[in-house]
Structure 1
């Protein structure tokens, strides 16, 4: 009996030490600081940009993730929950330059990394787009949190954080400098920019992509080339794929957010995916 009790005690201590180690490793990763300097935005807010802000917040996915006042992105027993915060409450705490760093580099005001912010896609987001969205956010009244709970992790979540299975944004952000000058972009460059900024967080250009959340997406170029412009426009406006099919997340995102794209933006994406340019680069659109 004493031997069994001793074995049980050793097992309990081992488990406790393992959980403590996981917790410590996860807390270290969550508290890690990233030294990314603030860069002032070069475009001043204007009425026209503010008016465009809500539309651009849709097409770049801000409203799709954060909703009106926060949104639970992921929740599972033992793992935890990931919450996209209420922007009407969080944006006033940030300067414009701090918001730009958060979006482009995934670095929060306190220097730690955001989680699931698609900074890799947004690294080259233009000043015009950023200023427009930020200016619109600053006109919105503060709203009570739709989701009162905050991001939190359970034991399985600690393991995921400690072993880099959670999508920290700052380490995944790309170095793009200077930002894209969207107003000066040619239609081809505009298409490359929109593909990078809007599509690349879920899709890879020429191969299937495992997004790590149980979702696998097809190669974007192959999909775009399978659609006529009319069918592609219908997909982006209504969420209906060829054959009047529903296609999961794409259908809901298209109806909720991509439907706010202009005809020119949809045509630019389709033209780029059907071009002979295989680079997928947006470097040529960078501001001088």
Structure 2
């Protein structure tokens, strides 16, 4: 009898080990999947001042994720630790064309997909704003990493990768896109498509892996112009409420919108049929 029990236990252990190995192999295959997207030539040419180039780059949410020198976006036991890298160290490794591919397609230098990079929104960034982003990135002075280590996956994250349940935005962007040449004078819709729409829907709440984001149309309608400006400048809701991710992103990025741009954004969100 004991021998049978030992055989069964050995078989169970073997099955578990095979399952673990299978999950690891499949997750590594998912992480190493490459995308057939060419790093097309891109001429970085801008007449903007260095200050305006930085302002535009920051409104497009570079700082909210990467901060000054890297930032931990997610650190969940069992799931993993996702790190947005230090741009001051990372950018010099890329050509301008490779940076454009990364930003617009979510495809890294080695052809694999970036995790969390909102490429499906950034695919809408105009050429002149893209030039502004790269101009600003190239101007950054090297800084030591603000956080130690790189992205690491826990067992639950590995299972999600193995089952292809972890979203890669490179899957959502066509290989060939045709962005506008210039940023529109009225940026209301443009701001939604390049930024706000990553976390929010217009008419319904949107559940992401990390949080539930409210619908933007009723929110924009319910805020006065003063309160909406405070929201984008400070990330604070009515009454000074801390809004978590929104507070952080606003303070890093949305605070760089001009008053006119904030008015255009609220008008678009509130009046859209």
Cα 1:240–1:148, aligned 2, differ >3 Å: closer, same or farther?
closer
Counterpart secondary structure, 1:274: helix
Look up the match of 2:53: 53
Aligned to 2:143: 143
Distance 2:135 2:201 in 1: 31
The Cα of 1:124 is off from its aligned counterpart by: 0.9
Whole-angstrom distance in 1 between the partners of 2:165 and 2:215: 23
User: What is the aligned residue count?
Assistant: 272
Query: Which segment is superposed worse, 22-31 or 171-180?
Result: 171-180
Q: Which residue of 2 aligns with 1:39?
A: 40
**Is the 2:44–2:135 Cα contact (8 Å) retained in structure 1?**
no
Where does residue 251 of structure 1 map in the other structure?
247
**Given that residues 106 and 117 in structure 1 are in contact (C-alpha distance below 8 angstroms), is that contact kept between their aligned partners in structure 2?**
yes
**Aligned partners of 1:248, 1:87: CA distance in 2, in Å?**
23
Distance of aligned partners of 1:50 and 1:175 in 2 relative to their CA distance in 1, 3 Å threshold = farther
Mark the runs of 5 or more structure 2 residues left unpaired by the alignment.
none
Matches within 5 A, 1:115-194: 115-173=115-173, 177-183=177-183, 185-187=184-186, 190-194=187-191
Question: What's the C-alpha RMSD, in Å, of the aligned pairs?
Answer: 1.8
Q: Which residue of 2 aligns with 1:80?
A: 80
Q: Using the alignment, how far apart are the partners of 2:242 and 2:59 within structure 1?
A: 20
Matches within 5 A, 1:235-274: 235-274=231-270
Residue 162 of structure 1 and its aligned partner are, at CA, apart by 1.5
Report the 3-state secondary structure (helix = DSSP H, G, I; strand = E; otherwise coil) of the residue aligned with 2:198. Answer: coil
Cα 1:43–1:268 shift into 2, 3 Å: farther
Deviation at 1:186, TM superposition (A): 4.4
Query: What residue in structure 2 maps to residue 67 of structure 1?
Result: 67
- Correspondence for 1:229: 225
Partner Cα separation in structure 1 for residue 160 and residue 137 of structure 2: 33
Q: How much has 1:31 moved relative to structure 2?
A: 0.7
Question: CA 1:39–1:264 in 2, change beyond 3 Å: closer, same or farther?
Answer: farther
Q: Aligned pair in 2 of structure 1 residues 246, 144: CA closer, same or farther (>3 Å)?
A: closer
How far is the alpha carbon of 1:174 from its aligned partner?
5.4
DSSP 3-state at the match of 1:240: coil
Once the two structures are TM-superposed, the CA of residue 220 in structure 1 deviates from its matched residue by 1.1
- TM-score normalised per structure 1: 0.88
Moved more, 9-18 or 68-77: 68-77
Please, what TM-score do these two structures have when normalized by structure 2? 0.93
For the structure 1 residues 44 and 219, does the alpha-carbon distance in structure 2 shift closer, same or farther, using more than 3 Å as the test? same
Are the aligned partners of 2:67 and 2:252 in contact in 1 as well (CA < 8 Å)?
no
Give the Cα–Cα distance (whole angstroms) in 2 for the partners of residues 37 and 13 of structure 1. 43
Tell me which residue corresponds to 1:12.
Answer: 13
- Paired residues for 1:208-223 under 5 Å: 208-213=205-210, 215-223=211-219
Task: Please tell me whether the aligned partners of residues 50 and 136 of structure 1 are also in contact (alpha carbons under 8 angstroms).
Answer: yes
Matched, 1:201 2:198: yes
Q: Counterpart of 1:241 in 2: which secondary structure? A: coil
- Kept after mapping to 2: 8 A contact 1:123/1:176: no
- CA distance 1:240–1:156, change in 2 (3 Å): closer
Conserved? CA contact 1:116–1:168, under 8 Å? yes
